Amino acid sequence: MHGAILENLSGRKLAVLISLLLICQVVCFLIGGLVAPTPASAENWLATKCRHRENDTRKWLYPRGEGHCDSIDSLDIYRSIDPDRRKEAISQEYLKANELVFALQIPLPRNNMTLDYSRWQQNLIGVLQFDIAYYSDAERDPDDAWKHYASSVEERMLQCTMTNKEEGFHYNCSIIPFFELGSLHHDFYLLNIRLPVDAVKKTNQGLGHLEDIWLVAINQNGGFTKVWVSLKTIFFPFIIGIMIWFWKRVHQLSRSPALLEYMLLFLGVTLTFLNMPLEYLTLAFDMPFMLLLGDIRQGIFYAALLSFWLVFAGEHLMIRDGVDSNSLRAYWKHLSAVVIGCLSLFIFDMCERGVQLRNPFYSIWVTDLGTNLALTFIILAGISAGVYFLFLSYMIWKVFCNISAKRTVLPSMSSARRLHYEGVIYRFKFLMLATLLCAAMTVIGFILGQVSEGRWKWDDDLELEFTSAFFTGVYGMWNIYIFALIVLYAPSHKQWPSESEHRGSTNEEIEFSRLPTDPSEMSSLTAFARKSAMD
């Protein structure tokens, strides 16, 4: 009979294959740790305070270069109640709020070179930090200073607190989401921020001694993108190749493909979609939807992986009769948890990053309604994840129950069949272990990355960029995992020697062939599981 390659592979070949894959895994990890820089870098840029005397808000102000604006070093002279300084301020005319523009021209020059953004840097996320100083002489005592600002038609709320009020110290202000650009297509960016006062609309009324605005620009590092895209470029053809090989093998069989084989193919397709190095296109075209697309690609892949685990466990469980088990309908209850979770995350992502395609300054978190909506979807996704893991653990527990039940009757079988079953059980457990190991490694790596500051040092020469290593390592791991699954679960063309020799000689064999589906073409692992369910 035909079985999966996993069952027919000799221990030595399996060991060679696994050690090869493990070497690939270590290489992936080391590439991230030793070659790539951190995934993203943040740069702090201080806004230049420009004075704009005309009332034309359409005019753009440049802090540097030809025709740059009149910059103000400090706003202190306008705010002091010291008579001498007041005189100085009067001599320069009072500064009106509508005349003050915070201008930023990014990136800034370094080492006497004008820097420019490279398209390899992929995306740009901006965050504002306000330095608001506390002065007791000229201020009410706002524990929470609320503020709105308009940049196109934008509103942001700023929450500031201060535990010990000391003069000249800054309030501890929350960071303000500013913009998210899904593509970094241009070389330079100019930002003008105005905080106009409007007594009627009560905008910017309670704003304190704002001294400076810092912009923190977070972009993906070019080096990381290069390493990442190279990895994708390498994995992409491998996974496609193995899928073609797999599907050819399945079609050589006389039976129609089993559900597990469909699932494996689907998993391969979603992984290929994730592996597709679309990032190359961003070097030539402006693709602001890349952030969103990246989320969707990852989402689809994880959804496929989670569904595969469910089906994998379910196919080895076989409580129901085997007739309708070859379709996904049997799993609708379990899969609905995955679907609901992914769908709510998708809706949330569309509300945040989808809208940002139209307006990069948009953020769902700035309004109360938006925050509640976002939280609803995230909580819904969390609940689905919990339900999913309950289902999965329950099913795996059932499979192991079945296996141990089968174990007790093993001694009464013929030696060849016993060896066969023991091998199947061992390999099923081996695969479960591999899955568990992969998941655990991901979780442990993630936690370590959060705990350590992202940089590990063993000695002065060897510095490992842990965050990057984690990303490339995990990415490589899931690729290798799925590669291995497809290879090991492909139908084998080898005959089962012991099986054919002893065919018909034992009672179990007869019982085996009485199963509803034709056992000769079924994966013997599945057959075993079904049989155990019938026992």
Residues 117-156 that bind another protein (CB under 8 A): 117-118, 120-121, 125, 127, 129, 131, 133, 135, 137-140
Span 314-353, contacts to another protein by CB under 8 A: 345, 348-349, 352-353
With CB under 8 A as the contact rule, which of the stretches 153-161, 206-214, 319-327, 414-422 interacts with another protein? 206-214
For residues 93 and 535, which CB has a smaller minimum distance to another protein in the complex?
Answer: 93
Give the one residue of 143, 166, 321, 511 binding another protein; rule: CB under 8 A.
166
- On the question of a cis peptide bond just before residue 107, with omega within 30 degrees of 0, the verdict is yes
* Single-letter code of the amino acid located at 9: L
Q: Least distance to another protein from the beta carbon of 39, Å?
A: 6
Q: Please give the Cα distance from 281 to 288 (Å, whole number).
A: 12
Map the footprint of another protein across residues 81-100, applying CB under 8 A. 81, 89, 94-97, 100
Q: Verify binding: residue 79, another protein, rule CB under 8 A.
A: yes
Per CB under 8 A, 189 contacts another protein = no
The yes or no reply on residue 233 touching another protein (CB under 8 A) is: no
Q: How far is the CB of 348 from another protein (least distance, A)?
A: 6
From the CB of residue 387, how many other CB atoms can be counted at a distance below 10 Å? 17
Nearest to 478 by CA among 5, 4, 28: 28
Q: Does 70 interact with another protein (rule: CB under 8 A)?
A: no
Q: Which of 12, 58, 91, 113 binds another protein (CB under 8 A)?
A: 113
Tokens of 36: 């790539």
CA gap 493, 519 in Å, rounded? 15
CB of 228 to another protein, least distance (A): 12
Print the binding letters for residues 465-484 with another protein: x by CB under 8 A, - otherwise: x-x---x-------------
Q: Is 197 in the site for another protein (CB under 8 A)?
A: yes
355 binds another protein (CB under 8 A): no
Candidates 1, 14, 18, 45; binder of another protein (CB under 8 A) is 45
Site string for another protein, 259-288 (x = CB under 8 A): ------------------------------
Q: Which stretch binds another protein (CB under 8 A): 209-217, 324-332, 397-405, 513-521?
A: 209-217
Report in angstroms how near the CB of residue 298 gets to another protein at its nearest. 5
**Contacts to another protein from residues 286-315, by CB under 8 A:** 294-295, 298-299
The string over 278-317, giving b where at least 16 C-beta atoms fall within 10 Å of a residue's C-beta and e elsewhere, is ebeebeeeebbebbbebbbbebbbbbbbbbbbbbbbbbbb
Q: Rounded to the nearest whole angstrom, what is the least distance from the CB of residue 399 to another protein in the complex? A: 30
Q: Give the closest residue to 273 by CA, choosing from 303, 300, 309.
A: 300
Whole-number Å distance between alpha carbons of 58 and 500:
84
The CB-of-218 to another protein minimum distance in angstroms stands at 5
* DSSP string computed for 474-528: HHHHHHHHHHHHHHHHSBP-S--HHHHHTTTSSHHHHHHHTSSS-GGGS-HHHHH
Q: Closer CB to another protein, residue 88 or residue 518? A: 88
CB-wise, 113 or 200, nearer to another protein? 113
| Span 415-454, contacts to another protein by CB under 8 A | 446, 450, 453
Contact between 221 and another protein by CB under 8 A: the answer reads yes
In 3D space, the residue among 234, 302, 291 whose CA is nearest the CA of residue 476 turns out to be 234
Task: Identify the sign of the CA torsion 238, 241, 243, 245.
Answer: negative
**CB-based contacts of 66: which residues, under 8 Å, 6+ apart?**
none
For another protein, the binding residue among 20, 175, 319, 462 (CB under 8 A) is: 175
**In the chain, what is the straight-line distance between the N-terminal and C-terminal CA atoms, in Å?**
22
Written as one string, the DSSP assignment of 288-337 is TTHHHHHHHHHHHHHHHHHHHHHHHHHHTT--S-SSGGGSGGGGHHHHHH
Shortest distance, CB of residue 273 to another protein, whole angstroms? 15
Phi and psi, residue 213, nearest 5° = -120, 130
Nearer to another protein, 209 or 249 (CB): 209
Work out how close the CB of 209 gets to another protein at its nearest, in angstroms, rounded to a whole number.
Answer: 6
Exposed / middle / buried, residue 479 (Cβ in 10 Å: 0-12, 13-18, 19+): buried
Closest CB to another protein among residues 174, 498: 174
Among 31-39, 153-161, 318-326, 408-416, which window interacts with another protein (CB under 8 A)?
Answer: 31-39
DSSP 143-173: SS-----BSSS------EE-SS--TTPBPEE
Which lies closer to another protein via its Cβ, residue 60 or residue 394?
60
The residue type found at 109 is P
Strand runs (DSSP E) across 144-266, as ranges?
Answer: 160-161, 172-173, 176-181, 189-194, 209-220
The single residue among 48, 472, 526, 532 that binds another protein, judged by CB under 8 A, is 48
Q: Which of 9, 160, 191, 207 binds another protein (CB under 8 A)?
A: 207
Smaller CB separation from another protein, 219 or 325: 219
Q: Which residue has the tokens 């689905």?
A: 384
Contact 362, 356 (CB under 8 A): yes
The CB-of-382 to another protein minimum distance in angstroms stands at: 11
With DSSP H G I counted as helix, E B as strand and the rest as coil, what are the percentages for the chain, rounded to 5?
55, 15, 30
